[in-house]
Amino acid sequence: MPQDTSYTHQKFNVIGTRPKRPDGIDKVTGRAKFGADTSAPGQLVGLILRSPHAHATIRKIDTSKAERLKGVKAVLTSADLPDLTDGDRAMLDILENCMARGRALYDGHAVAAVAAIDAQTAKKALKLIKVDYKVLPHVTDVDEAIKPGAPIIQDWVFTAGVEPKPKRPSNISQRTEFGHGDVEAGFAEADVIVERSYKTEQTHQGYIEPHACLASVRPDGSGELWVTTQGHFTFRNICSSLLGMDVAKLKVTASEIGGGFGGKTHVWMEPVALALSRKANRPVKLVMSRDEVFRATGPTCSTSVDVKIGAKKDGTITAATAELRYQNGAFPNIWGMLGAMTSFACYDLKNVKSIGYDILCNRPKVAAYRAPSAPMAAFGVESTMDLVAAEIGMDPVDFRIKNAAKEGTLASYGPTYGPIGIGPTLEAVKNHPHMRARLGKNQGRGMACGFWFNFGGQTCTDLNIGIDGTVTLTVGTVDVGGSRASLSLIAAEELGIPYDQVITNIADTASLGFNDMTEGSRGTFSSGMAAIFAARNAIEVLRKRAAQMWEIPVEAVVWEKGEAKAMGKKHGNLPQLSLKEIAAKAPNTGGPIAGHSEVVADNAGVSFASHICDVEVDPETGATKVIRYTVIQDAGKAIHPDYVEGQFQGGAVQGIGWALNEEYIYGEDGRLQNAGFLDYRMPVCSDIPFIDTQILEIPNPNHPYGVRGVGETSIVPPLAAIGNAVSNAVGVRLSHVPMSPPRILKALVEASGS
Amino acid sequence: MPSVLVSTTINGDAVEYACPQDETLLDSLRDRVGLTGVKEGCGTGDCGACSITLDGRLVCSCLVLGVEANGREITTVEGLSDGDKLHPLQEKFIEHAALQCGICTPGFLIAAKALLDRNPNPTVEEIRYGLAGNLCRCTGYDKIVRAVQAAAKQMRKK
């Protein structure tokens, strides 16, 4: 697992080491408390009734029999959730997704909920609720949804971004366009033009922990929510707003989180749990089943993408265009826009245009999934890049190197890049031993590149120094995969003390200012930045206290290697004061010693990766096995390299599952047919080889340590890398993800004409 | 449905609980005995997060009824360590960063222990197939396999 630190010039003491994570023992002994692992006295069991129809009008819901069942304490429908959104359509969409309001928009849409004394009673009560549906025509395919005559999902949606403003509602919620130059002129200059269409199917984030929460609302209108979430402050704001509660009166505590990958950045049933608790005046525990997770919590988009790239014989790309249609589920969002923004971000292009369409279907509301929207765009673009390279007879890596974006490149989505890593990752691919490994029969090699923006956002952090000199770092970003270890390393580095002298905690919403969610690869980047500033503020206090203890001016005190040092001829002979010694005197020198920081951690630093993949395809069955896989990514400074590698490997394997097997399968009736792990098959241990990683550290100039976001980019290249590898193995271009055995066999049969 | 009194041994201790006849052992362990280290990821035996051993045999506790545990011996993740001394698998999982979110970890540890109990020196392939009943979505399995290899090596030295 090599780590190339040659780009980083800063010298660090503990940053870049691999200590044990502080929450490790709890997680290997079963002590860690996840969403479903806590209980409250007198708690009720909540359950949700869901629509079996893809699209229906709800004429009537009769809850009377359920209400009369002994042990049922509350039955809830949208009538219990009045619209308090004051014209904020996006908030109303969230509310309507949590509980249908007169219409069911997808198979699995919540229509009613109960709270009862135990699970058995709650299940019985659900069966007693009678819903009178009028079934409506539905559409679940992204291309079908924009054909004339397709059922309209939202009659208030008129396509935004087109002139003149449309007069009729449409399933296209918006059109967005990015790029620069003159693509027509660019294509006229090309020696070779390749134009291709691609499809990708819908996949789920697949976190192993289903959504779970424990809600408790008191009669005075205050309440508490324990929940598995990527962002408890955002959950607090949304839930309090939807339920008409005061923000300060709802305390949300983030449990340990059993995976999120974007899927736990949205509320799905938490407002319902709170409303049930309010109605029953008892705590309510609401835990989704896996079936509910698949049917009713956001998967990523299915897509349909057209790509056209023109190049000269010397390998210079003269023009590139993409048209990207992204299925958003039943509620409008910006996923197609993100696809359009990311599509050509890896390359330095004179003439480029990408157009994104966001499209509604009778499917669950789409949620973020790790670098949301980028993998599907990359599948189209990176597959086409290989086709163009083949047409002009150029090595696909050299072709990409020739066109790679660099510092100063005007990105296709608008900004001009600072120092970036796409070129170095490609050079590393070229030099990697993986590229020289021998391929056997039915095997093929592919590579592809990927990009993600990364996000900074609002961050608030406290650093408190205890009487014994140990340090509590309190952050508001949920730890989804080891960030407490990284943040402890950062505080230890800044203060000049050992790693195990710092303990990082995640605060509840009552204990810290607002923090954006752990999304956009921001956890370690932004809370790390805030931890550095908080530590620097604490050091200012430590210097003052040392000056006070020595009775010298503070200007004569510096902080070095965890100690206060007196400077100058007059004081230079004073023995140094350690953090522990200063902390011990705190009660007499002015009280507690702390540092705080509130920042908007902008400029997260864009991230690039290049992946290499070898596959073996069984020509009899079409089954594909990944036999060798290498991830090369620019991480900026790697704080805890183990967890950086873990992000690279985890993202790559999610991408492998997406590329080869995972997909939402809808029947003619608009119902999801594979809402379980048996039929929605994610990669298991025996499907996967070791995932080799190479960390490049091209520092982000906007972070004190050069940190970039790390977590998401690794899922961007795999679809295309595997697509290119499979295509090279079988000699036929695959253009539909997942490349499951039936699709590969079909492509082989079509190509052979038999 | 009337509850049934179940007498069982869990992690070496005699334990009694009463549960409805149609309740899964997973729910009995979590909701009646308080062993929430046993996780529910699917409830259909597909993810392995609820793995335990029942009389030494690896099972998904979501596919066993609570009443079936009567007179039998159960080991859960809470019973892996020896007092304050972690099991080598637990140590190596932490050391090798074999967990990210940690929700699948209890199931993996139980499955890995069951594997090493019957095969103390497994090949990589045997580890991968031995753990194929457990889903992990965070790690891509790489560091999990390495942690099991390291734990097996350490356990063989003893």
CB A380 within 8 A of CB A196: yes
> Among partner residues B78, B99, B145, which is closest to A30 by beta-carbon distance?
B78
Q: Could B140 and A24 be called an inter-chain contact, meaning their C-beta atoms sit closer than 8 Å?
A: no
The predicted-structure confidence for A673-727, as pLDDT tens digits, reads as follows 999 999 999 999 999 999 999 999 999 999 999 999 999 999 999 999 999 999 9
Q: What is the ipTM of this complex?
A: 0.98
- Boundary of a domain, candidates B44, B61, B79: B79
Query: Is residue A519 a part of any domain in this protein?
Result: yes
Which positions in chain A touch B86 (Cβ < 8 Å)?
A: 25, 28-29
Distance CA A473, CA A527 (A): 10
Q: Nearest residue of B to residue A480 by CA position?
A: B101
Query: Buried b vs exposed e over A327-340: b needs ≥16 C-beta within 10 Å?
Result: bbbbbbbbbbbbbb
The shortest C-alpha distance from B10 to chain A (Å) reads 14
Q: How far A362 CA lies from chain B's nearest CA (Å)?
A: 25
Please indicate if any CB of chain A lies within 8 Å of the CB of B80: yes
Contact: A685, B43; criterion CB under 8 Å:
no
Cβ distance of A677 and B42 shorter than 8 Å: yes
Q: Chain B within 8 Å of A226 (Cβ-Cβ)?
A: no
Residue B132's CB is within 10 A of a number of other CB atoms, namely: 15
**Same domain for B31 and B51?**
yes
- Sort out which chain B residues have CB atoms less than 8 A from A205's CB and list them: 137
A141 within domain boundaries = no
| Domain match, A349 and A385 both | yes
CA-wise closest residue to B145 among A660, A631, A684, A624? A684
Flag whether A274 is in a domain. Answer: yes
Question: Which residue of B1, B22, B132 is in closest CB contact with A684?
Answer: B132
Contact across the interface for A30 and B49, Cβ inside 8 Å: no
- Judged by CB atoms closer than 8 Å, whether chains meet at A685 and B140 is answered as no
Specify if A560 maps to a domain.
Answer: yes
Confidence at residue B52, expressed as pLDDT on a 0 to 100 scale: 98
pLDDT at res. A752? 87
Q: What is the CATH number of the domain that holds A253?
A: 3.90.1170.50
- Decide if A616 touches B, using CB distance below 8 A: no
Q: Are residues B10 and B65 in the same domain?
A: yes
Which residue of chain A is at minimal alpha-carbon distance from B140?
A: A650
- Which residues of chain B are within 8 Å of residue A683 when distances are taken between CB atoms? 140-141
- Whether residue B39 and residue A258 make contact (CB cut-off 8 A), yes or no, is yes
> Does residue A7 have a pLDDT over 90?
no
Predicted confidence (pLDDT) at residue A321 exceeds the cutoff of 70: yes
Residues A628 and A687 in one domain: yes
Q: Closest Cα of chain B to A658: distance in Å?
A: 12
End-to-end CA distance of chain B: 50
Whether A204 is covered by a domain: the verdict is no
Closest residue of chain A to B128, computed from CA coordinates = A686
What integer is the mean pLDDT of A71-90?
Answer: 98
Q: What is the CATH number of the domain that holds B69?
A: 3.10.20.30
A contacts of B109 (beta carbons < 8 Å): 28
Kindly state the average pLDDT of the residues A94-123: 98
Q: Please tell me whether the peptide bond between A415 and the residue prior to it is cis, using omega within 30 degrees of 0.
A: no
The residue of chain A nearest to residue B47, with distances taken between CA atoms, is A677
Query: In A, residues 261-290, which contact B (CB 8 Å cutoff)?
Result: 261, 287, 289-290
Domain edge (last residue) among A585, A600, A615: A600
Domain extent at residue B51: 3-79
More confident residue, A489 or A3: A489
Same-domain pairing of A122 and A104: yes
Are B130 and B105 in a shared domain? yes
Q: Which residue of B has its CA nearest to A690?
A: B142
Place of tokens 């919403």: A509
Instruction: Note the pLDDT tens digit of each residue in B2-25.
Output: 899 999 999 999 999 999 999 999
Is B72 near chain A, with CB under 8 Å?
no
Domain boundary, last residue among B49, B79, B109: B79
- Closest C-alpha to A683, from B28, B125, B141: B141
At B145, which amino acid appears?
V
Same-domain check for residues A439 and A465? no
- Using CA atoms, how far apart are residues A332 and A373, in angstroms rounded to an integer? 14
Q: Nearest-CA distance from A545 to chain B in Å? A: 38
Give the integer Cα–Cα distance in Å for A601 and A521: 12
Does A347 fall in a domain?
yes
Establish if A123 touches chain B: CB-CB under 8 angstroms: no
User: Are B70 and B93 found together in one domain?
Assistant: no
Q: Is the pLDDT of residue A753 over 90?
A: no
Tell me which of A7-21, A41-55, A144-158, B144-158 is least confident. Answer: A7-21
Cα–Cα distances (Å) from A546 to A472, A561, A573, A595, in that order, read 20, 15, 14, 16
Instruction: Write out pLDDT tens, residues A466-486.
Output: 999 999 999 999 999 999 999
Q: Per-residue pLDDT tens for A573-617?
A: 899 999 999 999 999 999 999 999 999 998 888 999 999 999 999
Residue A76 resides in a domain = yes
Contact A347, A403 (CB under 8 A): yes
Domain boundary among B47, B79, B111: B79
- Does any domain span residue A744? yes
Instruction: Give the domain extent around A567.
Output: 458-600
Binned at pLDDT 50, 70 and 90, residue A739 comes out as very high
- pLDDT of res. A119: 95
Position A79 scores a pLDDT of: 97
Closest alpha carbon within chain B to A482: B100
> Do you find a cis peptide bond into A164, omega within 30 degrees of 0?
yes
Mark yes or no for CB contact B140/A691 under 8 Å: yes
Closest by CA to A47, choosing from A116, A93, A107, A135, is A116
Q: Check whether residue A327 and residue A470 sit in a common domain.
A: no
Band of residue A572 on the pLDDT scale cut at 50, 70, 90 = confident
Q: Give residues 86 to 145 of B whose Cβ lies within 8 Å of A.
A: 86, 89-90, 93-97, 99-106, 109, 125, 127-129, 131-145
**A315 and A289 in a common domain:** no
A600, A621, A641 - which closes a domain = A600
User: Percent of chain A beyond pLDDT 90?
Assistant: 96
pLDDT of residue A471: 98
Find the mean pLDDT for residues A461-465. Answer: 98
Find the CATH number of the domain harbouring B125. 1.10.150.120
Do B72 and B94 share a domain, yes or no?
no
User: H helices of A222-269, where?
Assistant: 232-243
What residue in B sits closest to A646 (Cα-Cα)? B139
Q: Which of B104, B109, B129 sits opposite A208 (nearest CB)?
A: B104
Q: Is residue A754 scored above 70 in pLDDT?
A: no
- pLDDT for A389-434, tens place per residue? 999 999 999 999 999 999 999 999 999 999 999 999 999 999 999 9
Chain B residue whose CA is closest to A257: B101
B56 and B94 both lie in a single domain? no
Mean pLDDT of chain A: 97
One domain for residues A518 and A627: no
The pair of three-digit structure tokens given for residue A163, joined into one six-digit string = 């002139």
Residue of A1, A27, A611, A645 to mutate for B, most B C-beta atoms under 10 A: A27
Rounded to whole angstroms, the Cα distance separating A340 from A329 reads: 18
In this structure, are A443 and A468 located in the same domain?
Answer: no
Tokens 């039998």 sit at which residue? B72
Chain B residue with minimum CA distance to A481:
B100
Same domain as A566, residue A471: yes
Same domain, B69 and B100: no
Number of domains in chain B: 2
A31 to chain B: nearest residue by CA?
A: B37
B16 close to A (CB below 8 A): no
Is any Cβ of chain A less than 8 angstroms from the Cβ of B149? no
Q: How far apart are CA A630 and CA B55, in angstroms?
A: 42
Mean pLDDT over A141-156 rounds to 97
Q: Which candidate in B10, B38, B82, B100 is best for mutational testing of the A interface (most A CBs within 10 A)?
A: B100
Is the pLDDT reported for residue A129 higher than 90? Answer: yes
3-state secondary structure string across B68-135: HHCCCEEECHHHCCECCECCHHHHHHHHCCCCCCCCCHHHHHHHHHHHHHHCCCCCHHHHHHHCCCCC
> Across the interface, do A649 and B140 touch by the CB < 8 Å criterion?
yes
- As for how many domains chain A has, the answer is 3
Domain co-membership, A363 together with A309: yes
Q: Are the Cβ atoms of B139 and A256 closer than 8 angstroms?
A: no
Per CB-CB distance under 8 Å, the chain B contacts of A685 are 127-129, 131-132, 134, 136, 141, 144-145
Which of these three, A569, A600, A631, is where a domain ends? Answer: A600
- Claim to verify: residue A78 and residue A219 sit in the same structural domain: yes
Q: Collect all residues of chain A within an 8 Å Cβ-Cβ radius of residue B135.
A: 206, 208, 677, 682, 684
Which residues of chain A from 101 to 120 reach within 8 Å of chain B, CB to CB? 119-120
**B67 and B106 in one domain?**
no
Task: Name every chain A residue with its beta carbon within 8 A of the beta carbon of B143.
Answer: 642, 645-646, 649
- Looking at residue A575, its amino acid is P
Q: Look up the CATH number of the domain holding residue A636.
A: 3.30.365.10
Predicted local confidence at residue A652, as pLDDT = 98
What residues of chain B lie within 8 A of the CB of A25, using their CB? 86, 90, 94
Using only C-alpha atoms, what is the Rg of chain B? Answer: 16
CA A365 and chain centroid, separation: 15
Query: Which chain A residues touch B100 with a CB distance below 8 Å?
Result: 259, 480-482, 643, 646, 650
CA distance A146 to chain B (A): 34
Please check whether residues B75 and B108 belong to one and the same domain.
Answer: no
- The Cα–Cα gap between A605 and B75 comes to 47
Report chain B residues whose CB lies below 8 A from the CB of A654.
Answer: 137, 140
Classify burial at A573, counting beta carbons within 10 Å of its beta carbon; exposed 0-12, middle 13-18, buried 19 or more.
exposed
B109 and B134 share one domain: yes
B6 to chain A nearest CA, in Å? 19
Residue A1 confidence (pLDDT): 65
Q: Is A168 on the interface with B (CB under 8 A)?
A: no
Whether A347 and A279 map to the same domain: the answer is: no
Is pLDDT above 90 for A5? no
